[in-house]
Chain A
Amino acid sequence: MKRIPLGARLDMAEKAEAAGFSFHTMYGEPYWDEETAYAFTLRQIEDDIEDPSTALHAMCREAVAEIVKSEELMQRLAIPREHWDLVAESWQSGAPELYGRFDLIYDGQGPAKMIEYNADTPTALFESASFQWDWLEDMIRNGALPEGTDQFNGIYEALTARFAQISPAGTHIHFTAFADSPEDYATVEMMAYAARAADMGAHFVNLPEIGVTDTGQFADAEGRVIGTLFKLYPWEDLLRDDFATHLAGAQCRYLEPAWKAVVSNKGLLPVLWQMFEGHPNLLPSFFADDLDAGSDAVTRAEDALARGVVRKPVFSREGASISIRQGDAVIEDATVRDYDAHPMIAQAYHEMPVFDGFRPVIGTWIVGETCVGMGLREDRSRITQDLSRFKPHYILD
């Protein structure tokens, strides 16, 4: 794993504008940054990143089976009691998952460490699946990278195949997000491209314009009934909104399914550690009150915890409300504190590698149950926030 100064394409900005990738620069800072790129060996990709990510997803599925039958865990994950059945039934009926993204810390050797699983509303899908792919093609065409250079990025193909696998051809799928958030909307559009390639009907509805009919079904802004809803809006919020009472009876299929509420929840991390203590791709994690109370498991993790503890709320996006402490000393605190009011978990801090002053986090994409690609973001800070830069990657050998 190396950070290589390849230089940006001369026409990068034009390419981005032509693709409608308007947020390649945000707040005057580059968001998409191809001045440098990360290079990996095939062995690093396959053995250290791809296979462990697929295995982690399987472990998460095992954890879901445990969580949905435990009232105690459902409570600790702050799933509203009135929706426990909705969540549990979506799991028991085998409602299929579509996609997710693990965030891993990896330095080129040794096991990658999972820091969290964005299993419900991961973004950066366009950057990972499409713009990164185009970048590699251009770099090969320009002669900046040799013919035959590859990239771990089968995301688009896998999404198309997954749509075809879980829905009959011709199924109408409504996609929803906030239309005025360009990053969210781009992810939804990318998803819609894959759905259409799988012969699905793709329709967009702005989230606040979703309506409920007399019979309790959801409808779009034109009053058309929604049969399948891809929502780039987290389950923890859906379950607390005014329309939450209609979710179970709306005869609507949700993507992601409701059981993702317990996966895309930092409370998953202590459950995984409890079930798979010592797994090389996991970091010791505890519910914050369990850590403070102490236990045999906490004692066994003492060394790792002494290097630092990351506290995160069970719900949080873009690094909000995360703090990193070593003993009483603050290593780093998120400036955005929107999620401070929620129950916290504590995870052993794993020092991130530093490349030219930047700390990369590897996002691995899961489609269905398999890891199919990756994208990197880097930041000078230890907490990857919403202004972290997206970095393209390629495979060296």
Chain B
Amino acid sequence: MTASRPLKRTRIMPAILLGATAFALAGCKDDAVEANAFPDKASCEAAANAGTVAFTVQDCDAAYQDALVEYERSAPRYDDQALCEEQHGGACVVDERAAGGGGSIFMPLMAGYLMGSMLGGNRAMTQPLYRDAGGKFATAGGGTVLNGNRGSARMQPSSFRAAPAAAAPMSRATVSKTGGFGSSRTSSFGSSRSFGG
């Protein structure tokens, strides 16, 4: 037996207790992160230069670019300009990238962006903000609503995971139906409750 050969087994194995602990943290809340809202890139840069935020000017630019990409991807879309303006309390623009079809697609202007420190990453989380009908500022899914588009707050990381039609993982949703999985139709008896092999 030579000591130099690497082990073919896990080096440090935690004690595994079945039925007790694997999901014990399921009820815990996400850790909140420091988040900042800016109406535009310039105000972020100004705050960075003034040293009132933990970001650099470069972070502001990177986050702004990310927010623009997200804006293109997930901004709310409407087939009716009046409805768009009603929902977003102001000007809407034609979505230039929506090609063909019967008519134009409208989307609200980006009214700022949210920036949050990344947990363990080197790029800030970001989400575009839109005006809502009540004059507040919200992310596309409406999951985060702010009174203004300027300031800082502690927020759940899930505030940054909004997408257009989709709610962020772990956000609360209204469940309309359950029980749609588990009938196991490939087994003619359906008696077995074990699906491993």
Residues of chain A touching chain B, judged by Cβ–Cβ distance below 8 Å, are 18-22, 42, 45, 118, 121-124, 126, 129-131, 133-134, 136, 146, 148, 150-157, 168-172, 175-178, 180-181, 183-190, 192-193, 196-197, 199, 201-204, 207-215, 217, 219, 221, 223-228, 232-234, 236-238, 240-243, 246, 251, 315, 317-318, 320, 337-342, 373, 386, 395, 397
User: In angstroms, how far is the closest chain B Cβ from the Cβ of A169?
Assistant: 5
CA distance in complex: A294, B9 (Å): 46
A208 touching B182 by the CB < 8 A rule? yes
User: In angstroms, how far is the closest chain A Cβ from the Cβ of B112?
Assistant: 25
CA distance in complex: A178, B190 (Å): 13
- Count chain B residues whose beta carbon lies closer than 8 angstroms to a beta carbon of A: 59
Residues of chain B touching chain A, judged by Cβ–Cβ distance below 8 Å, are 1, 3, 5, 7-11, 13-20, 22-23, 25-26, 30, 119-121, 157, 161, 163, 165-189, 191-197
Chain B residues near A176 (CB-CB < 8 A): 181
B172 touching A156 by the CB < 8 A rule? no
- Which of A122, A130, A146, A213 makes the CB contact (< 8 A) with B175? A213
User: In angstroms, how far is the closest chain A Cβ from the Cβ of B180?
Assistant: 3
A213 touching B18 by the CB < 8 A rule? no
CA distance in complex: A54, B39 (Å): 53
A193 touching B22 by the CB < 8 A rule? yes
A-B interface pairs (CB < 8 A), number: 246
B188 touching A341 by the CB < 8 A rule? yes
A225 touching B25 by the CB < 8 A rule? no
Residue of B nearest to A175 (CB): B23
Identify 20 residue pairs between A and B in the complex whose beta-carbon atoms are under 8 Å apart, listed by A's number. A19-B18, A22-B18, A22-B19, A123-B197, A148-B1, A157-B10, A169-B121, A170-B30, A170-B120, A172-B169, A190-B22, A196-B25, A203-B23, A212-B176, A224-B172, A232-B195, A240-B183, A241-B180, A241-B183, A339-B187
> Are A172 and B25 CB-contacts (below 8 A) given A184-B194, A242-B183?
no
Chain B residues near A175 (CB-CB < 8 A): 23
A211 touching B23 by the CB < 8 A rule? no
CA distance in complex: A258, B18 (Å): 28
A130 touching B13 by the CB < 8 A rule? yes
A238 touching B167 by the CB < 8 A rule? no
- Which of A22, A193, A232, A341 makes the CB contact (< 8 A) with B16? A193
Chain A residues near B16 (CB-CB < 8 A): 19, 126, 130-131, 189-190, 193
B186 touching A183 by the CB < 8 A rule? no
A122 touching B186 by the CB < 8 A rule? no
Chain A residues near B11 (CB-CB < 8 A): 157
- Which of A133, A226, A339 makes the CB contact (< 8 A) with B188? A339
Chain A residues near B177 (CB-CB < 8 A): 211-212
A238 touching B163 by the CB < 8 A rule? no
Chain A residues near B193 (CB-CB < 8 A): 178, 180-181, 184
CA distance in complex: A201, B157 (Å): 13
B1 touching A338 by the CB < 8 A rule? no
A150 touching B196 by the CB < 8 A rule? no
User: In angstroms, how far is the closest chain A Cβ from the Cβ of B97?
Assistant: 21
> Are A373 and B9 CB-contacts (below 8 A) given A130-B16, A197-B14, A217-B166?
yes
Chain A residues near B175 (CB-CB < 8 A): 211-213, 219, 223
